[in-house]
Structure 1
Amino acid sequence: MFYEPKNGHGLPHNPFNAIVTPRPIGWISTRGKDGKDNLAPYSFFNATAYVPPQVMFASTSAKDDRDFGKDSTSNIRDTGVFCVNIVEYSARDVMNVSSGTLPADEDEFIKAGIEKAQCDLIDCPRVANAPASLECKMTQIIKQEGDNNYIVLGEVIGVHMRDDCIVDGIFDVTTFNPLTRLGYRDYSVVREVFSLARPDD
């Protein structure tokens, strides 16, 4: 099968995000200029550079009560900071609750019963028990083709790691099993890890 996205695919559901998988989930926490906190998962998320460490996530829809994409993008535009929280398998249900469309003044931390903590370097909440949280200073917001498609880029200026996730000097993902996003309503979990030596090692 071949299709051109502009002409449609003829399938019951769009296969695009099922093809580009698995994707890490950035659980983005923000605080608005009005002091209201927000938490939302984004599966168009990744790291982009080592030095300085940088990350990105993309927002692809809008809300009627916002003038700039969703709550996350609006808050980041206004404050210039955000936090990326890593999602573990055991948090899958509360993460899913936080993905719901709520009014801009309703706090997903409270709605989902998620404990929050204050970031150290930025005025922003974080998920208190996340395996890791990345405090970020926004560097760019890029408008993509299409309605309400934005890429948010940020420099990681502070890193929180849960102590039990550090084993023999490494951040060990097998201690918490990262949740990953597939297509449709599907997810997966990292439980098996192996190493490969690079040709230049």
Structure 2
Amino acid sequence: MFYEPRLQNSGLTIDPLKALVVPRPIGWISSVDLEGRVNLAPFSFFNMVADSPPIVLFAPSGRKANGEIKDSRRNVEASGAFVVNMATWDLREQMNATSGQFPAGVNEADVAGLEMVPSRIVNAPRVAASPVALECRYLQTVSLPTLDPDQPNDVIFGDVVGVHIDEKLITPEGRVDITIAKPLARLGYSLYTAVTETFAMRRPQ
């Protein structure tokens, strides 16, 4: 089959594109507003896009049901920082709980029963139970084209300035065994997957 996403002419019940660009890592973003109130939300439009310096991005596109911009974007732009917490198989229910629509000022970590602990460098706290956390300083927001003027299509970039890794993930050889953490990734529809096995391939010389 062939279809054009902008025309929504796939003939399928749901546009399949997000089921094709998979798996997408989940950026579980914690931030604080100027009053120090914590926000925690997962984003599957997330990735690392550079390594020198290390830079990550997430896309808090659209608006909340009440028309306000997403809390994560507002907090990050105002406070200048955020933390990317790894969402894992063991934390799947808590991650999902934080994806709900909540009024500004509601602490999603409390809703999900998660303990937050201070970061080392940035003002945003991190999820204590998450085995990996990336402390990030806000770099910039890039506004992308949108098909709906009322729905912003923005990408936030952050400079990774601190990395937390649970010692349980580090092998005697000094490498990270990510299968121990079982990180979650988003597929299409309401489907997810967890990384539980890997294989190696070397680039040709």
CA contact (8 A) 2:28 2:41 kept: yes
Q: Distance between the aligned counterparts of 2:88 and 2:24, measured in 1?
A: 13
Name the structure 1 match of 2:34.
33
CA contact (8 A) 1:66 1:104 kept: no
Name the structure 2 match of 1:192.
197
Letter in 2 for 1:24: P
| Offset of residue 59 of structure 1 | 1.5
| Offset of residue 6 of structure 1 | 1.8
Q: Distance between the aligned counterparts of 2:136 and 2:24, measured in 1?
A: 20
Name the structure 2 match of 1:148.
152
**Pair 1:51 & 2:52 matched:** yes
Return 5+ residue gaps in structure 2 as ranges: none
Q: Secondary structure at the match of 2:168?
A: helix
Name the structure 2 match of 1:158.
162
Q: Secondary structure at the match of 2:197?
A: coil
What does 1:35-114 correspond to in 2, within 5 Å?
35-64=36-65, 67=68, 69-114=69-114
Alignment: residue pair count: 199
Q: Secondary structure at the match of 1:133?
A: strand
CA contact (8 A) 1:21 1:181 kept: yes
Letter in 2 for 1:106: V
Q: Distance between the aligned counterparts of 1:6 and 1:65, measured in 2?
A: 26
Q: Distance between the aligned counterparts of 1:7 and 1:64, measured in 2?
A: 25
**Pair 1:117 & 2:117 matched:** yes
Q: Secondary structure at the match of 2:96?
A: helix
Q: Distance between the aligned counterparts of 2:81 and 2:183, measured in 1?
A: 24
CA contact (8 A) 1:66 1:74 kept: no
The one-character-per-residue Cα deviations of 1:57-85 (angstroms, maximum 9, x if unpaired) are 11222125574x20100101111110000
4+ long deviations beyond 2 Å: 64-67
Letter in 2 for 1:92: R
Q: Distance between the aligned counterparts of 2:17 and 2:61, measured in 1?
A: 14
RMSD, aligned α-carbons: 1.2
Q: Distance between the aligned counterparts of 1:66 and 1:79, measured in 2?
A: 21
Name the structure 2 match of 1:15.
16
Name the structure 2 match of 1:24.
25
Name the structure 1 match of 2:134.
134
Q: Distance between the aligned counterparts of 2:95 and 2:127, measured in 1?
A: 11
Letter in 2 for 1:61: G
Q: Distance between the aligned counterparts of 2:87 and 2:64, measured in 1?
A: 24
Percent identical: 42
CA contact (8 A) 1:129 1:162 kept: no
| Offset of residue 130 of structure 1 | 0.8
Return 5+ residue gaps in structure 1 as ranges: none
- Normalised by the length of structure 2, the TM-score is 0.93
CA contact (8 A) 1:31 1:38 kept: yes
